[in-house]
Chain A
Amino acid sequence: MKYTLAVLVENRPGVLTHISGLISRRAFNIESIAAGHSEEVDTTRITIDVEVDDELELEQVVHQLSKLVDVIKIVNLTRVDHIERELALIKVKASKVNRSDLVDIVEIFRAKIVDVNRETMVVELTGEASKIDALCEVLVDFGIIEIVRTGKIALSRGPIAAKEM
């Protein structure tokens, strides 16, 4: 089963080492991890997607992470109504011949072309991971040169912030 956790941590040097160290030491199966600033200057927000066998294993992940001194709060967003997004930048081959086909596909996916040159284009897409996977699958035919993805971020719907949950 897959769970999505919002982890609020102190914005301090060493925090990511502590978190990644714990994850690897306890052999937790992390599918995606994305960190960045939050609404508070001294807080970093990390979205972690974890694959576990059952709730007991999830409990272990949460309790072990909570023990880290730098971890302020962990919210399990899985069962909370929430929005998930990931950003991908994809560099594809784009010759004169197939450029218009590519533009069509980009439009269907509501993606954006953010860079163009004579041989390639860079496509930007925001969405759920499955949508990005689907676009990548289609783009394979054109020839993908490189992909970068941010990993999933998640935010609850409704007025309440994770720090207050």
Chain B
Amino acid sequence: MILQGADALIECLKQEGVEVVFGYPGGAVLTLYDALYNSQFPHVLTKHEQGAVHAADGYARVTGKVGVCIATSGPGATNLITGIATAYMDSVPLVAITGQVGVSLIGKDSFQEADICGITTPISKHNYLVKRAQDLPRVIKEAFYIARTGRPGPVVIDIAKDVFAATMDYEYPTEVSLRGYKPLFAGDEEVLRVCLEELRQAKKPLLFVGGGATISNMAPEIRKFVNATGIPVISSLMGLGVVPGDSSEHLGMVGMHGTYAANMATVECDLLLGVGVRFDDRVTGSVEHFAANAKILHFDIDPAEINKNVCATIKVVGDLAWSLPLFNKLVKDFAPDIKEQTASWREQTAIWKQDKPMTYKSREGVIMPQQVIAKLNELAEDAIVVTDVGQHQMWTAQFFNFRQARAFVTSGGLGTMGYGLPAAIGAQIGLPDKKVIVFCGDGGIMMNCQELATAADNGFPVKVIVMNNQVLGMVSQWQRLFYGERYSHTSLKGRTDYVKLAEAMGVTGFKAEHPGELEDILKKALATSGPVLVEVALPSDEDVMPMVPPGGCLDKMILGEC
């Protein structure tokens, strides 16, 4: 079939089962946009390319499908960079298509030229520069394959402008052949038997689940394992929801702002079974002291994760979808024994949990941030919860009880402010029947607030909660604790009226200032159709607690009111 490059690209997207693309047009992709126009391919026009890439990311995280975004050359493409890096750090499958200047203009500092492959090399799983139309189908096939398989990640396809207009003999390849890319599935079964032996020896085993468990859709296997063995569980930020937050075995999030029980259990355990985790510094604190009494069994698909930050006693390299079902089978017969011999350990963890639960101190006449999260946890337990980055993100992790995997969308690895709102829009498009709630700080909302208009113009009914503490909360907390209360440039006391901002863009706005009205306003917001923004007035000086100072030991937490 003879096709123009642009039409061929759209054919390829259809072949890959792409339902929607997020993008923003410009000179280098005009021909592509013309083809979108002709084909009526579903496209969401965001107000900024950063919005497009985060939306594609949010879509991908909740659906597990590959998110797709499009931008023009130069500034359009560079506006994607933060989003690509965000997706890379959290292993999100993404294909970013960028226009490039015409082939003959490449390398001449032409108008709107930027070396996107050069720029994205360290922040993408792979990238391509396409200069010939006939390469397009193969490259797109490979890009989707690479993005979604193995450890997922973003792939960038930079396409020279002339490729869109050139004609070609289109045929979509049925297979990919990449000599250097053979995503691993099965590993060494023998190692699983060794793990079983270790588990049977252990008196104080602890299961540590992370984002890999979500990505591989292995939450059901993990729940099975936990139910059978009764082994206590801790989560990384990215692993929340893999086991139900309110299950008795779940001790909560571990690390810098982890729960007392999760952190104490990590220090005390004699066996740590890490599943789809990468032992980030926000989790480990001091690496030397991390789980110092424990043998570490590390299950991961990426061999480069093993022994990167902490040394594993046993490595189980392979897809969790291979290792966990097999491991469950092996464990099955011994599960009752394991449960019995770990009974006193389980009791100990339960005592930690009971002694120092996640709490906060109320203040007279003031809405507390934790209370907002806890209230929405009551009112919208099935919601998809998205956050921006900062204190509110940690409070959400602590006080929202995630019941499902893929129900919590947050920028973990990169910690990208401005991520929340556009990611929520993407999540809403991916799951149109779900309630999508996004918590933002008054700082972060302003980084991509233009996307309120995207929500309003398209009727995406996201519920935006602006946690207005009038400060860059997380930074000011560090200034309070470690910089002698010198609040350098973290005050946001200004003249912005967030309700009016919302209304100006066509989003319904509410404001909650008193504890007495909070519940009603939140209920009203949830019941209102279309996008809604709720500004909640909060104190400026509340700290996220517990806190392990950076590089500290997990049992040396500042507890605050907890």
Contact = CB atoms under 8 A, between A and B. Distances in A.
Interface of A: 9-10, 13-14, 17-18, 21-22, 25, 56, 59-60, 63-64, 66-73
Nearest to A67: B304
B118 A17 contact: yes
B178 A17 contact: no
18 contacts: A10-B179, A10-B180, A14-B127, A14-B128, A17-B118, A17-B121, A21-B121, A59-B307, A63-B302, A63-B304, A63-B306, A64-B304, A66-B303, A68-B126, A69-B126, A71-B180, A72-B180, A73-B180
Contacts of B311: 56
A59 to B, nearest CB: 6
A69 B180 CA distance: 5
B303 A69 contact: no
B126 A13 contact: no
Contacts of B122: 21-22, 25
B16 to A, nearest CB: 18
A17 B180 contact: no
Contacts of B302: 63, 67
B269 interface: no
B308 A70 contact: no
A69 B178 contact: yes
A14 B303 contact: no
A13 B304 contact: no
A94 to B, nearest CB: 41
Contacts of B181: 69
Interface string B510-548: 000000000000000000000000000000000000000
Contact of B179 (A25, A66, A72): A72
Contacts of A60: 304, 307-308
Contacts of B505: none
Nearest to A73: B180
A39 B560 CA distance: 66
A64 B303 CA distance: 8
A68 B307 contact: no
B146 interface: yes
A58 to B, nearest CB: 11
Contact of A69 (B117, B146, B306, B308): B146
A21 B302 CA distance: 19
Looking at A17, A56, A69, the one whose CB has the most chain B CB atoms below 10 A away is A69
A59 B121 CA distance: 22
B129 A9 contact: no
Contacts of B146: 69
Nearest to A65: B304
A90 to B, nearest CB: 34
Contacts of B125: 69
B79 to A, nearest CB: 21
Contacts of B178: 69
A105 B129 CA distance: 50
Contacts of B307: 56, 59-60
A17 B308 contact: no
Nearest to A57: B307
Contacts of A68: 126, 180
Given A10-B180, A17-B117, A69-B146, 7 more contacts: A25-B122, A56-B311, A60-B307, A64-B304, A67-B302, A67-B304, A69-B126
Interface in B472-500: none
Contacts of A71: 180
A59 B315 CA distance: 13
Interface in B155-203: 178-181
A63 B303 contact: yes
A18 B121 contact: yes
Contacts of B304: 60, 63-64, 66-67
A70 B180 contact: yes
Interface in B296-341: 302-304, 306-308, 311
Nearest to A61: B304
Contacts of B303: 63, 66
A14 B180 contact: no
Interface string B98-127: 000000000000000000011001100111
Of A9, A67, A70, A73, most buried by chain B (CB within 10 Å of CB) is A67
A56 B125 CA distance: 23
A91 B179 CA distance: 42
Nearest to A42: B179
A60 B306 CA distance: 9
A10 B179 CA distance: 8
A21 B118 CA distance: 9
Nearest to A64: B304
Nearest to B181: A69
A14 B130 CA distance: 12
Nearest to B303: A63
Given A21-B121, A21-B122, A66-B303, A13 B180 contact: no
A8 to B, nearest CB: 8
User: Which 7 residue pairs are nearest across A and B when measured between Cβ atoms?
Assistant: A63-B304, A21-B121, A72-B180, A69-B126, A25-B122, A69-B181, A72-B179
Contacts of B127: 14
A56 B315 CA distance: 13
A12 to B, nearest CB: 10
Contacts of A56: 307, 311
Nearest to A10: B180
Contacts of A67: 302, 304
B485 to A, nearest CB: 35
B117 A14 contact: yes
Given A14-B127, A67-B302, A9 B180 contact: yes
A67 B152 CA distance: 12
A14 B129 CA distance: 9
A56 to B, nearest CB: 5
Interface in B124-144: 125-129
Nearest to A43: B179
Contacts of A13: 129
Contacts of B128: 14
A145 to B, nearest CB: 33
A59 B312 CA distance: 13
Contacts of A25: 122
A63 B179 CA distance: 16
B68 to A, nearest CB: 19
Contacts of A59: 307
A70 B179 CA distance: 8
B436 to A, nearest CB: 33
B125 to A, nearest CB: 7
A128 B494 CA distance: 68
Contacts of A18: 121
